[in-house]
Amino acid sequence: MNHFKRLFGITFGLVAAAACLLFVLENQQGIEVSFLGWATPQWPVSVVVIFAFLLGMVIGPAIGWFIAARGRRRVRRAALAQRAVQSPSA
């Protein structure tokens, strides 16, 4: 079973690498991206798409981490408030 998992992982990795290579080779035409007055030089479409994908891989988990941290702070504050109510003030 472990051998099958390793073979499947290697096969999946090779197929993914081949798909990425094919995507890069098929999308060589240059484009210019402009946003809020800022413009990039002419880059291949594949570079722009891969950059956007990698940026999303960074921003998505960062937003999730901030939301989770805010939730943990709320839980911690509620627990502290609950302890303050339960403890005698004498």
Q: Which residue has the tokens 């080779």?
A: 25
**Which pTM value belongs to this model?**
0.57
Residue 88 is predicted with a pLDDT of 64
36 touches 14 (CB < 8 A): no
* Positions in the chain short of pLDDT 50: none
Residue 45 neighbours by CB under 8 Å, 6+ apart: 27, 28, 29, 30, 31
